[in-house]
A and B are shown apart, each in its own frame.
Chain A
Amino acid sequence: MSSSVKHLALLCAGIVAAAGTFAYAAEPGHPGYYGYGERATPEQIAGWDIDARGEDGVGLPAGRGGVIRGSEVYAEQCAACHGTFGEGEGRFPKLVGGAGTLRHDRPELTVGSYWPFAPTLWDYINRAMPMAAPHTLSADDVYALTAYILNLNDIVSSEFVADRESLPKVKMPNRDNFLWTDPRPDTAAKPCMSACVDPAGVKIVSTAEGKNLTPRTTGPLDTMLAK
């Protein structure tokens, strides 16, 4: 290093030192103020950037799959828990049915009767299924499964091919029945302190006593099964 360059370097160091204790002029709250970590590369981001948005399908990848292929993948990967036709085994979720039951005393919430957005189905299968080996299916197979499950629910025809263009256009039956802003508080109880209700009207209308639904809360874990 020449003496003039060295001199310049020392001068610069002096200026930085004079500016304060911090190595950078940026204030807290400025991007990169701490400078920790490493910049995420496009390759790293691509590996983890798996989300597809429900409403518009943004994030759905290339690939496609139809109902027939979907039925094959389904039989192999899904039917053991969700039933051959999406009817659900045991307490595993039903995927099919329940149309028109949402106002019933015992509504059935399924992909067909409840889910508002079709791309959400692709996103969920891709990220979380099959349960024992999540995120191991190809994009094509996830598209095929999505097509098959939509078809089981009579939402698309057997000719339907799911891809990043077609899925966002599928109108799910329950799409318009969600309120996405919270209306609570929806009760307005008053903090009355005395003679708040007629004592004669205080009646037990329901008790857990004798229902035999409660696992034990002492000793080893209970293994009581479905009633």
Chain B
Amino acid sequence: MRPDLWRSISLLSSTGAHTRLGRRSLLGLGAALTGSLALGPKQGNAEPSPASPPADAPWSQSIGPGVVDRPYGRPADTEAGVIRRNVPWLTAGTESSISFSPLQDLHGIITPNGLFFERYHAGRPDVDPEQHRLMIHGLVERPLLLSMKDIVRFPSVTRIHFIECPANGGMEWRAAQLNSLQFNHGMISCAEWTGVRLSTLLEEVGIKKEAKWVMVEGADGAHMNRSLPLDKCLDDCLVVYAQNGEALRPEQGYPLRLVVPGWEGNVSIKWLRRIKLGDKPWHSREETSKYTDLMPDGTSRGFTWLIDAKSVITFPCPEKPLDRPGLYEIRGLAWTGNGKVKRVDVSTDGGVNWQSARLHEPVLSKALTKFTIPWRWDGAPALLESRVIDETGYVQPTIAQLRKQRGTNSVYHNNSIQTWQVKGDGSVFDVQLG
């Protein structure tokens, strides 16, 4: 967030800037809107901003900035609070850390590129696409070096898939801790990806018959690497250069990343530079000391790639409380790494009774799915929950059911039902039920 933008927003609301803007000359108005600092504090006479009926608004009685005033568009200044956020106390620094998408302010199933959650292991590299190369080697017939131009020439595919960090919700294993939709669930985002099937590239280099595993590696300082079974690579993995219709953002791996649909986000290696085929997994640090799940008996599960079915109510939520009793639409998102969402049920009484919500098209495989259900809130305290069932019949568990199997120290893959407590005043809190 640029600090100057915050200043301009507070000025807009506190000094009636809109009214003054209406009196400005045409050229002056453009300058004021494009350069927020033009709204300096020296303009004194605070007056109400009667831009609502019956008054005609100042922006209705003036002319706005023209085309290419913002050659690359950006959100309205008043949306400045809709940003990725981090939990500063969670990690030693921001270079090996995570940020969370503001799910409470998003609509639909696509995450805007600037709000897609971030996970770095060595900060965000700024890669020169001219010099970037993808090397494919190991147990292959013809090791290859591909430039970005080469990669874009291959037959292209476009798919919508979510990416979720398996640590999403990881702070809640022990107890309810963070009173926030963004911080409890914001390590998930969903985009339309365009690129080439990994299978196309692997067929082009020729897979030797001994090859069973694939190591993928990034060009970042962590040289982040993971092992993947060859079968998954040939099934539905994509090597992508575009996200929601434009080039990948640097935060998402520009100029090239892997997308492993339905599997934990860290295997979707960003800034992808190397693919090596082998006969065994590599057991890299990121699949042994991290991204393994410690069980109560002291054993650990490794290679737990799948994202199990999960859902969450995105309205209401702690960030978006209820205003007053009346009719509301409960809204939420559901997803599963196992294919499509089949059904989402919603409870307003802490899981005693459930009603099936409406799923909104498109319902895509390994993508976010939107659900809604109308709810007349009578002003009484309520406990809201959603529960997804995916096309395999798997039912999203409660945190108690997960704890019974995995204890409280497994960090990853908490896909439990979220409970939101609605109080009589409409405020909403993150709670867990016994």
Q: Which residues of A are in contact with B by a Cβ distance under 8 Å?
A: 28-34, 36-40, 44-45, 48-51, 53-56, 81, 90-92, 102-103, 107, 109, 111, 114-117, 120-121, 123-124, 127-128, 131, 134-135, 174, 177-199, 201-209, 211, 213-215, 217-227
Among A28, A117, A194, A206, point to the contact of B353 (Cβ < 8 A): A194
Q: Are A49 and B137 in contact (CB under 8 A)?
A: yes
B151-179: CB near A (< 8 Å → 1, else 0) gives 10110000000000000000000011111
A24 and B405 CA atoms in complex are apart in Å by 56
Q: Are A128 and B222 in contact (CB under 8 A)?
A: yes
Q: Which residues of B are in contact with A by a Cβ distance under 8 Å?
A: 1, 3, 6, 81, 83, 85-89, 91-92, 95-96, 102, 104, 121-122, 135-137, 141-147, 150-151, 153-154, 175-180, 182-183, 203-206, 215, 217, 221-225, 273-274, 276, 278, 280-285, 288-289, 292, 294, 296-306, 308, 318-319, 343, 345, 349-355, 383, 387, 389, 394-398, 401-402, 405-406, 409, 413, 421, 429-434
Most buried by A among B1, B137, B224: B137
CB distance from A130 to the nearest CB of B (A): 10
Q: Are B349 and A202 in contact (CB under 8 A)?
A: yes
Q: Are A134 and B147 in contact (CB under 8 A)?
A: no
Among B147, B299, B402, B433, point to the contact of A37 (Cβ < 8 A): B147
Q: Are A185 and B308 in contact (CB under 8 A)?
A: yes
A33 and B294 CA atoms in complex are apart in Å by 45
4 tightest Cβ-Cβ pairs between the two chains A and B: A54-B283, A31-B206, A205-B434, A124-B285
12 pairs across A/B with beta carbons < 8 Å?
A: A28-B203, A40-B143, A45-B135, A49-B137, A54-B283, A121-B285, A178-B292, A190-B395, A191-B387, A196-B353, A208-B177, A208-B318
Q: Which residues of B contact A30 (CB under 8 A)?
A: 203
* Also in contact, A189 and B429, with CB within 8 A (given A53-B280, A55-B280, A120-B284): no
Q: Which residues of A contact B87 (CB under 8 A)?
A: 215
* Also in contact, A179 and B299, with CB within 8 A (given A45-B137, A109-B294): yes
Among A34, A174, A190, point to the contact of B154 (Cβ < 8 A): A34
Q: Are A103 and B298 in contact (CB under 8 A)?
A: yes
Q: Which residues of A contact B95 (CB under 8 A)?
A: 131
* Also in contact, A33 and B203, with CB within 8 A (given A54-B283, A178-B292): yes
A28 and B274 CA atoms in complex are apart in Å by 23
Q: Are A33 and B204 in contact (CB under 8 A)?
A: yes
Q: A39-B143, A44-B135, A193-B345 are in contact. List 10 more A-B contacts (CB 8 A).
A: A31-B142, A34-B204, A48-B274, A91-B91, A117-B283, A183-B301, A189-B396, A193-B355, A204-B433, A214-B179
Most buried by B among A192, A217, A227: A217
Among A39, A48, A50, A198, point to the contact of B142 (Cβ < 8 A): A39
Q: Which residues of A contact B296 (CB under 8 A)?
A: 103
Among B297, B354, B401, B402, point to the contact of A194 (Cβ < 8 A): B354
Among A177, A182, A191, A207, point to the contact of B305 (Cβ < 8 A): A182
Q: Are B88 and A222 in contact (CB under 8 A)?
A: yes
Among A48, A128, A202, A221, point to the contact of B273 (Cβ < 8 A): A48
Determine chain A's interface SS by DSSP, over half rule: loop
Q: Are B179 and A48 in contact (CB under 8 A)?
A: no
A131 and B175 CA atoms in complex are apart in Å by 33
Q: Are A120 and B83 in contact (CB under 8 A)?
A: no
A63 and B85 CA atoms in complex are apart in Å by 44
Q: Are A109 and B289 in contact (CB under 8 A)?
A: yes
Among B85, B183, B353, point to the contact of A195 (Cβ < 8 A): B353
Q: Which residues of B contact A184 (CB under 8 A)?
A: 304, 306, 308, 413
CB distance from B131 to the nearest CB of A (A): 13
Q: Are B180 and A217 in contact (CB under 8 A)?
A: yes
Q: Which residues of A contact B1 (CB under 8 A)?
A: 220-221
Q: Are B203 and A178 in contact (CB under 8 A)?
A: no
Q: Are A214 and B180 in contact (CB under 8 A)?
A: yes
Q: Which residues of B contact A207 (CB under 8 A)?
A: 176, 421, 429-432
A9 and B178 CA atoms in complex are apart in Å by 75
Q: Are A189 and B141 in contact (CB under 8 A)?
A: no
Q: Are B302 and A40 in contact (CB under 8 A)?
A: no
CB distance from A100 to the nearest CB of B (A): 9
A131 and B92 CA atoms in complex are apart in Å by 12
Among A191, A193, A217, A225, point to the contact of B89 (Cβ < 8 A): A225
Question: Which partner residue on chain B sits nearest A110 by CB separation?
Answer: B289
A131 and B301 CA atoms in complex are apart in Å by 27
Q: Which residues of A contact B143 (CB under 8 A)?
A: 39-40, 45
Q: Which residues of B contact A53 (CB under 8 A)?
A: 278, 280-283
Q: Are A177 and B298 in contact (CB under 8 A)?
A: yes
Q: Are A102 and B294 in contact (CB under 8 A)?
A: yes
Q: Which residues of A contact B137 (CB under 8 A)?
A: 40, 45, 49
A205 and B172 CA atoms in complex are apart in Å by 13
A40 and B300 CA atoms in complex are apart in Å by 38
Question: Which partner residue on chain A sits nearest B224 by CB separation?
Answer: A128
A101 and B305 CA atoms in complex are apart in Å by 26
Q: Are B354 and A128 in contact (CB under 8 A)?
A: no
Q: Are A213 and B178 in contact (CB under 8 A)?
A: yes
A218 and B121 CA atoms in complex are apart in Å by 27
Q: Which residues of A contact B83 (CB under 8 A)?
A: 221
Q: Are B89 and A224 in contact (CB under 8 A)?
A: yes
Q: Are B91 and A179 in contact (CB under 8 A)?
A: no
Q: Are B122 and A202 in contact (CB under 8 A)?
A: no
Q: Are A208 and B430 in contact (CB under 8 A)?
A: yes
Q: Are B175 and A206 in contact (CB under 8 A)?
A: yes
